[in-house]
């Protein structure tokens, strides 16, 4: 029995259960047409001849004239194959070929644990910002810079999973500044799900830098004092100390020090800039590091990340996609699996923005499969949320995995619960459950705001705003728009979507001139992406409403072929979408 689940257009076909869902609804299909559909899916790389279908599926049965054509017609009804181009292409006098993009997904019980050398799930480690006790303001950068440097070093060990720096900082912002170290560590642990929390203080002795470190973990703690000639050397020493305390069975952390002490300090400053989402500053400093150490793997990966973020902020998602692809491949080649998964996820979002639905879905589903194979509940929900986000971006039904009740998710860390609620929000929107969607959006936004994930918070706010505008709830929409705009700094996806949403709100309030002023910069750009397509479709709709039919048709003609059938674009264009 074929255990692969096939997803295409708005359909999901599961050969094991012999179920077809179109737009989330179960479709009835007789056994022979179902077998015909799965046969075409498995052999979609070629045209399947009619006589081959008869031989393989009808065998010794007495076949009436037109049996294959009748079965094809039943399949077309079940999968709603009424568009152009068709999902199943008829090759006259030859046979048929399944012509739509298809994503193959293994169900959870078919996935085997990924080869991790027998290791357990990665240990989640959170570092608190370094305390600068040297008395020198020139070393204030160690607070986040050295913290980021150590997180980068730990990420090279597949047994460890450092918590992102912004998430730790956001968790600490909710803690009373007078709280002791144990209370601060507990707050971070609850928010991020970290099993280990490290607290550090940097001070000076007569001839060296000194690092006091304390590691808190379930059932105990460890303390140490490290010495090094410079601050960046302290960071390398701490990374090794943490690795030895968390898992002393094997110390395999690569010592990625540069051959130049100054370059190492510049790298730490660059990582501090990344933590603050100051991408241009980070890229400049990382370029300096790479000029000195061209083979520095992590510096190259951080450079690609900073450059991709800059391109996204400029609306250049095609360039960003190329950079994320390269980052994912380089990380995979260096066996930096966590970095590879995150880069692959960003590539999925960029591909969706570029209208490359097949690539976007494949990359997103790859992340889900990776998390399922490892049995990591937290990673499963993070990757599932991203997959839901990508499916919503390309206009396909959302399939959030279990658990399917808030009680089942209550014991998850805040970050993972946020992802759970985000997936629920997407799903409830598509089911038409507006009240449930509002509640899910509110939970997700609140949790993302609490953990400092501004990009994810802003993205959820935009989808929530879209739902509010569709239902005409303008006062609430205006409030959410203001919140989304506050999250947009350095977030390319948010910056690209906000003009379209603000234009819709202004038009709903009767200010079409102001609405057009919002759309104009997006429409005039050379980039062909989802933001451009939605803005152009909306402007075309307004032109048609005002009697400028030729202008509306010209606008629609400028929309790239990858977006002409997208639900958001069709919704923006309204009744004129089929005008050209």
Query: If phi over 0 gives left and psi between -120 and 50 gives alpha, with beta otherwise, what is residue 375?
Result: left
Q: Residue 16: is its pLDDT beyond 90?
A: no
d(CA 516, CA 411): 47
CA distances from 277 to 90, 165, 212, 488, 489 (A): 51, 11, 28, 11, 9
**Percent of the chain, pLDDT > 90?**
7
Tokens encoding 188: 């971070």
Per-residue pLDDT reduced to its tens digit, 173-202 = 777 777 777 788 888 887 787 888 988 888
CATH code of the domain occupying 123-257? 3.40.50.10070
Q: Which residues contact 533 (CB under 8 A, 6 or more apart)?
A: 355, 559, 560, 563, 564, 566, 569
Fold for 5-108, please state it. Arc Repressor Mutant, subunit A (1.10.10)
Rg of the chain in Å (alpha carbons): 27
What's the pLDDT score for residue 249? 54
CATH architecture of 344-578: Alpha Horseshoe (1.25)
**Phi and psi for 562 in degrees, rounded to 5?**
-70, -10
Q: Binning pLDDT at 50, 70 and 90, where does residue 121 land?
A: low
Per-residue pLDDT reduced to its tens digit, 547-559: 888 888 888 888 8
Closest CA to 413 of 111, 126, 119, 114: 126
Q: In whole numbers, what is the pLDDT of the chain averaged over residues?
A: 79
331/10 Cα distance (integer angstroms)? 33
What per-residue confidence (pLDDT) applies to 88? 93
Rounded-to-integer distance, Cα 422 and Cα 190, Å: 19
User: What are the extents of the domains in the chain?
Assistant: 5-108, 123-257, 344-578
Say if CB 348 and CB 363 are below 8 A apart: yes
Please tell me the predicted confidence (pLDDT) of residue 123. 82
What does the pLDDT read at residue 133? 84
Average pLDDT (277-281) is 82
DSSP codes joined into one string, 101-158: --EEE--GGG------TT--SPEEEEEPPPEE-SS-GGGTTHHHHHHHHHHHHHTTST
Listed range (80-84, 400-404, 437-441, 564-568) with the worst mean pLDDT = 400-404
Model confidence pLDDT, tens digit, residues 340-371: 888 998 999 999 888 888 898 888 888 888 77
């Amino acid at each position: 029995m074929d255990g692969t689940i096939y997803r295409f257009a708005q359909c999901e076909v599961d050969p094991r259960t012999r179920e077809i869902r179109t737009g989330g609804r179960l479709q009835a299909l007789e056994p022979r047409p179902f077998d015909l559909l799965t046969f075409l899916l498995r052999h979609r790389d070629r045209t399947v001849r009619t006589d081959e279908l008869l031989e393989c599926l009808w065998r010794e049965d007495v076949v009436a004239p037109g049996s294959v054509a009748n079965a094809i017609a039943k399949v077309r009804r079940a999968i709603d194959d009424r568009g152009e181009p068709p999902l199943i292409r008829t090759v006259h006098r030859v046979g048929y070929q399944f012509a739509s993009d298809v994503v193959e997904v293994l169900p959870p019980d078919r996935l085997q644990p990924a080869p991790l050398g027998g290791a357990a799930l990665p240990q989640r480690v959170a570092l608190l910002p370094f305390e600068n006790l040297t008395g020198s303001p020139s070393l204030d950068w160690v607070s986040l810079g050295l913290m980021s440097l150590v997180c980068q070093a730990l990420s090279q060990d597949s047994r460890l999973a450092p918590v992102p720096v912004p998430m730790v900082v956001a968790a600490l912002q909710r803690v009373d500044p007078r709280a002791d170290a144990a209370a601060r560590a507990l707050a971070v642990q609850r928010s991020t799900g970290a099993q280990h929390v490290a607290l550090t203080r940097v001070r000076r002795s007569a001839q060296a830098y000194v690092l006091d470190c304390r590691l808190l973990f379930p059932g105990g703690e460890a303390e140490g004092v490290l010495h090094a000639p410079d601050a960046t050397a302290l960071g390398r020493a701490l990374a090794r100390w943490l690795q030895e305390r968390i898992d002393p069975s094997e110390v395999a952390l690569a010592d990625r020090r540069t051959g130049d002490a100054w370059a190492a300090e510049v790298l730490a400053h660059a990582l501090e800039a990344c933590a603050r989402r100051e991408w241009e500053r980070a890229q400049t400093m990382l370029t300096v590091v790479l000029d000195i150490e061209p083979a520095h793997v992590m510096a190259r990966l951080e450079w690609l990340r900073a450059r991709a973020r800059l391109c996204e902020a400029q609306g250049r998602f095609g360039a960003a996609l190329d950079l994320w692809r390269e980052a994912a491949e380089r990380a995979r080649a260096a066996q930096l699996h966590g970095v590879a998964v995150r880069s692959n996820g960003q590539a999925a979002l960029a591909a969706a923005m570029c209208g490359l639905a097949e690539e976007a879905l494949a990359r997103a589903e790859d992340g889900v499969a990776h998390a399922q194979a490892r049995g990591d509940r937290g990673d499963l929900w993070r990757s599932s949320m991203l997959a839901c986000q990508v499916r919503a971006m390309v206009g396909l039904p959302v399939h959030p995995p279990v658990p399917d009740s808030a009680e089942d998710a209550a014991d998850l860390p805040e970050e993972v619960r946020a992802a759970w609620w985000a997936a629920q929000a997407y799903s409830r929107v598509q089911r038409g459950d507006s009240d449930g969607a509002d509640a899910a959006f509110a939970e997700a936004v609140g949790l993302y705001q609490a953990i400092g994930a501004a990009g994810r918070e802003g993205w959820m706010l935009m989808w929530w705003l879209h739902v509010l505008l569709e239902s005409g709830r303008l006062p609430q929409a205006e409030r959410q728009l203001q919140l989304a705009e506050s999250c947009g700094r350095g977030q390319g996806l948010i910056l690209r979507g906000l003009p379209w949403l603000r234009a819709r709100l202004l038009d709903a309030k009767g200010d079409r001139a102001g609405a057009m002023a919002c759309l104009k910069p997006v429409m005039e750009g050379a980039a062909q992406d989802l933001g451009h397509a939605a803005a152009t479709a909306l402007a075309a709709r307004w032109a048609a409403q005002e009697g400028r039919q030729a202008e509306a048709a010209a606008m629609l003609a400028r929309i790239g072929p990858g977006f002409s059938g997208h639900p958001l674009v069709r919704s923006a264009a309204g009744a004129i979408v089929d005008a050209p």
